[in-house]
Structure 1
């Protein structure tokens, strides 16, 4: 059976000629299936065309080359390339090409070439491309062959597994746009791919550890092949053969110790130089002692060898460390992933509705006008000036559902535009965007080490020191009184069987996984102690305005007083307030579905400060505002009934009146409204057994009303920022562990006083928030998620520490009495570390489902 790599170059040229056939020929080919070449689609003009049986059907061809290539591809297992959706080497259509060409050209600008093109020696360059539709080895083969024929290209390597293509070419002979256009010419839309520094480091660490583990595993299996006959039939083996197997085991163990175990020895050396007993110290001593003793016994020809124990221990230890590395990388806060959300290019406009030019995002400046099409990512913070769409903000806020954005709304860099084009006025770029603030907050949190992790490291240090003393005493006792021939083996078993790794991993692995889970839910931990303190919270002190409520006016009730219905009254009021920035104006405009009654004509607007508005709407003179102001327009000074405010008593509500010359038309009750998630938050906090307190600077009557509305038993109103701090201090004097929730600025004193605090991220720049954690969106029910995840993390830490303690208490005495051999100790120690890491890994699932 032929493989794709063996297809003749002449047939390849025929393939390219066929794939580049004019559209007219392709159209003619589809006129009748019996007259079209199965491979290239060109018309079949022969009276007796060439034919072949493929997949049980008769196929016709225009020439022998197409027939031979089609048969070869089918024989190689690539028949699927002839499907309607995967026609081999079909170029992209002209419309898609015209749209993509300006973007391709932008990648040749100095800013983006520096970002994506890697300079090499002798005037060469390299770039990694990411084609969108690589499916199999045939695709990779075609891409490599086609790019290699482009001017100046020295090599092209396509990887099906990673869907990446690495191209090297001579500078000055080829452009990035030319490479992208060449791929588009054979049906593969591709874009430059930037491997971030963190990705490179992670990949390098994983690859290095995998290589060391592979060498150790291979060495372990080979050494066990020689060790097993010695264990079972040592007495029957010729001494010369026995010595030969020992030398073979030595040769196989040598790369395991020198290469696979080198990070262990390096870590132990660093610990000793810093006068710190790290977890690598006993491991390195055990591995080194076992190998040296075995090597001496091999050279001398007498004594026990432990090559099987050494290789097995190193192999299983590296396996545990590899899984721990994967957990640590999966638990990363997501800052790098967030930072890579921004696109490389964007479309800058000369004016609203004008045509744009494709530029690098690095050239954007404040007040630039840009267009973000559906399917694109917003490159900078800005305000919508034209268009209506829905944005996916899940990467920034954790909100899973797309959010509607229209003219006047703010959009954030990193959001995905799902529906239709938007034109934006850029407000913040680069380091000033909210995305950059989130990254800065996460970096600050990562720079701090939790107290629990610090304590665990200190305990592990003392544990290692104690272990070394125990190992020395064990070796001394066995060497002087019990069995000198087994002293070394038992000492190695004591060093190996202990698990300082599990002890040191117990806390940081769990905290890292929990922190990652919360960041995915929009709760960013900005202080190292936040998670462990959240687990101990007994009381939650909540602000009202901006926390439990939206902190803005909304229309709570409309009462028509004439012949107009509710919708007509709202439309008239919104028409008068169109374009207004006052909170009342925004509330009335938001209450009208079409955004403000654009169908009516408004003239002669007069604004009376402190009173209201007067205007002519569709030829009718109206007033909107205070009761006495609106009633002043009514002829004859008619008495106006005062409607009941929404609810039996709603302190803090504002009533706005709409009147015409023939009478009062309606009243509008405007009041603060609760957040959509407030009820869910309070219910979940109650289920967690946490006491809630509503403490606000609003008037006492309003706070009492809201407390009764929410079902909160402890409330205080008209409290100054200092008074809030004193309120928290009194709770703490009674033994409470307090979580304070506020907007990060007005509530600075109370956030600082509480043992742990969460700031609502929408209330202040994240980098300036002084809280221990920041909620990046308005879904305040995630505060309860933070408490639940922190408590689960505490349980996992206790489980890990308990297991580590139990394991060491049982395993070390067994090893010291000689009941556990070195290879058993290696397996036990590795499995103990694996159990700790796997238990912590469970916390990552909290970021994907409700806890």
Structure 2
């Protein structure tokens, strides 16, 4: 995935508007030569009509009739291109309306200039500019609308004329421009401004270290594979006549073809197969039989035996088998590498979401200044415009907007954020500008915590993967013994001339790669799929444990419910209707930070402005205020009753919601309404419980709330087993009792007061809104409130277990069948190479399916 700096968004997340004509201009940059975009240049004799370059005094210009007018050109290329465009009917592209490479509009430039200047600050120069020594520097720029070779030529020409610029190389394929210049003569802002002068909005592009390593690894393997493929095809051209018409070919010609095959095989062995030899050498130095050992022995044995036969002019040559084997093996490894890189946790992708700059508001004047994010401090006030990325964690202090938090939580729909709400670094502001008070920056942000959790999970190696590695090691050792025995048997008793070829086939046909890849490829793919859905695996054993879950212990508050007050019932006791009573209560509570206050304000359907005066708070009792000229009280029953002594004995007539908190509203005439506030279930609770039932997992609701309330909630959820008034230690004992009965328990909680039970269970999931992720002791963290993903995680874990079993079963079956066939001489070396490569590809391809985890879990065994 390219960096954010390469996208249509600026590195600070700003979507800077571009001149439409400039965008259209670059799209057809066959005519993009003009640099200044003024109509006067069209008829000027001092500048080239096509490219706009000034005509020097020592240059003899070319003149041609274009569109019925006399035009001047700097060279034959510009003249020919202009004539071609006009003859093809594209002369309108030179008109002033659609003139290419015109500067960006003034408004876009004013917005971009502070950002350009920020890139010359020390913090951002260190991030994007590479020092070359002797006062020279290099930077990679990403123009937004570079589309063809003419665009690249124009950019190179324009940047090359700047003072101090030594070189500018534009690559159309990657849409990158690499510039080298003298630092004392030019700045980054000058380069960006110059590109804007010709209509290209550009930003510094930073390739992360991980991306650089991945690209080098892919490029190196791809080059080696290309050499091996070419060598294989060329060698097969010489090998085919030997197989089909050897008896009719002159001996001298046969020897010549052998020498040609030998010469073509040398680069394949020395260059293409070098990673195989390096891996085998590392294994031998560490006294470990890795999968590269038999492969390297087979390649070397086949090559040197063929080389000896070629030099002596007597014997069989196997250059075709050697090159084919190396080519197909590298193909399998290349595809495996792409899967491995695609299924990584995404930690670097998350980390790159932070912008490079942000707009900080000056405290005294409120004026915004563009600064590097590295200069932010807790307590700073920043403005985040629509289309920008949040640079830090903070609290909204002005504005209302919708925030896309999908990169952190997996929730695809934007969520509303208003004054008092928390916003997180790395999230996208999708709607309106916000002013945010910074709370946490850098390594303290939630984004950094997620990255740390993912890195911790990647550092561990699952038990299944460790077991597979040990099995593969023993397998390789056994294989070497079998190959040696096979070679001796063929050399002594069967056919000495085929002994080497059969031995090489035995070494090559085996597939320790499939054994070693079977487990880690599946686990990596499943982990990546779950992380994209907001389930972060923090321990290596999590998937293995989840696949065997038989019982799940759920907490109520904060897990099945949202852990916040909500209005669940309004009972009318006076002459006003429910909406009016709710509006009066909301007016009295507006601005309050208590959970009850927020619940009443959120529940009010009528938010009409009411005159609230003489507001007085009696701690532990409630509020008294004059609302629209009417003295009212809101709070406990006794407190409200004091305002109307004649109606002091106020009672409720309806049913009480279990565990609900009652809030009364009344005036001097008596009670008006009774509000019941209680916890509410999460939107996905029903989906979670239904999915767990389909998966055959037994649910246990264990909570510290009163038994009656817990039983009411259990009946509502359809959970048979429910226990209330349980302490954290009691929850741990409950899980231990289940484990003694043979159950594999998954515990779900908020990660703080449920720490004992999370530690006791075989596997645990913490709701991410609870404890800070870096401190959560759970085996997995759900980064959002979509508890339905808990059942999905179990389903994916079971599917992963099934895929691992399929991979191991296939690897075992393949080796059991293929090795005896090779030992009996029925499988040649080139067939063995194809078989081994296909076996590895099947294993990796099967694991790749896990990257597309099912949205809804089905019943799986």
- Fold shared, TM-score > 0.5 on shorter chain: yes
**Residues of 1 paired with 2:315 and 2:90: CA distance?**
60
Confirm or deny that 1:153 pairs with 2:144.
no
Q: Which moved more, 1:829-838 or 1:150-159?
A: 150-159
What SS is found at the alignment partner of 1:846?
Answer: coil
User: Conserved in 2, the CA contact under 8 Å of 1:395 and 1:414?
Assistant: yes
CA RMSD of aligned residues (A): 2.4
**Residues of 2 paired with 1:802 and 1:265: CA distance?**
28
**Residues of 1 paired with 2:612 and 2:143: CA distance?**
55
CA displacement at 1:451 relative to structure 2: 0.5
Confirm or deny that 1:619 pairs with 2:629.
yes
What pairs with 1:14-413 in structure 2 (closer than 5 Å)? Answer: 15-17=34-36, 19-20=37-38, 63=71, 70-73=82-85, 88-351=100-363, 354-413=366-425
Q: Among residues 754, 764, 767, which one is paired with 1:760 in the alignment?
A: 767
What SS is found at the alignment partner of 2:233?
Answer: helix
**Residues of 2 paired with 1:487 and 1:762: CA distance?**
66
User: Conserved in 1, the CA contact under 8 Å of 2:34 and 2:50?
Assistant: no
Confirm or deny that 1:690 pairs with 2:697.
yes
Q: Aligned pairs, how many?
A: 808
User: Conserved in 2, the CA contact under 8 Å of 1:696 and 1:717?
Assistant: yes
Aligned to 2:57: none
What SS is found at the alignment partner of 1:16?
Answer: coil
CA displacement at 1:538 relative to structure 2: 0.8
User: Conserved in 2, the CA contact under 8 Å of 1:573 and 1:658?
Assistant: yes
What pairs with 1:636-715 in structure 2 (closer than 5 Å)? Answer: 636-637=646-647, 639-645=649-655, 650-715=657-722
Distance 1:465 1:67, change over 3 A: closer
Q: What is the CA deviation profile of residues 268-302 of structure 1, one whole-angstrom value per residue up to 9, with x for unaligned ones? A: 11111111110000000000111111111111111
User: Conserved in 1, the CA contact under 8 Å of 2:641 and 2:647?
Assistant: yes
* Structure 2: 5+ residue stretches without partners: 1-29, 43-48, 53-63
Distance 1:511 1:240, change over 3 A: same
**Residues of 2 paired with 1:84 and 1:529: CA distance?**
66
Aligned to 1:770: 777
**Residues of 1 paired with 2:627 and 2:720: CA distance?**
48
Q: Among residues 722, 726, 737, which one is paired with 1:719 in the alignment?
A: 726
User: Conserved in 1, the CA contact under 8 Å of 2:791 and 2:857?
Assistant: no
**Residues of 1 paired with 2:39 and 2:379: CA distance?**
47
CA displacement at 1:581 relative to structure 2: 1.7
Q: Among residues 489, 496, 512, which one is paired with 2:508 in the alignment?
A: 496
Confirm or deny that 1:728 pairs with 2:727.
no
Distance 1:605 1:514, change over 3 A: same
What SS is found at the alignment partner of 2:626?
Answer: strand
User: Conserved in 1, the CA contact under 8 Å of 2:400 and 2:434?
Assistant: yes
Q: Among residues 824, 832, 835, which one is paired with 1:828 in the alignment?
A: 835
Q: What is the CA deviation profile of residues 350-395 of structure 1, one whole-angstrom value per residue up to 9, with x for unaligned ones? A: 2499221000000000010000000000000000000000000000
Q: Among residues 598, 609, 612, which one is paired with 2:619 in the alignment?
A: 609
Distance 1:637 1:849, change over 3 A: closer
CA displacement at 1:564 relative to structure 2: 2.7
Confirm or deny that 1:580 pairs with 2:557.
no
Aligned to 2:46: none
CA displacement at 1:94 relative to structure 2: 0.3
What SS is found at the alignment partner of 1:359?
Answer: strand
Distance 1:776 1:61, change over 3 A: farther
Distance 1:381 1:259, change over 3 A: same
TM-score, length of structure 2 as denominator length? 0.91
Confirm or deny that 1:738 pairs with 2:738.
no
**Residues of 2 paired with 1:84 and 1:333: CA distance?**
50
Distance 1:675 1:477, change over 3 A: same
CA displacement at 1:75 relative to structure 2: 7.3
* Structure 1: 5+ residue stretches without partners: 1-10, 27-36, 41-49, 53-58
User: Conserved in 2, the CA contact under 8 Å of 1:154 and 1:170?
Assistant: yes
User: Conserved in 2, the CA contact under 8 Å of 1:517 and 1:848?
Assistant: no
TM-score, length of structure 1 as denominator length? 0.92
CA displacement at 1:70 relative to structure 2: 3.6
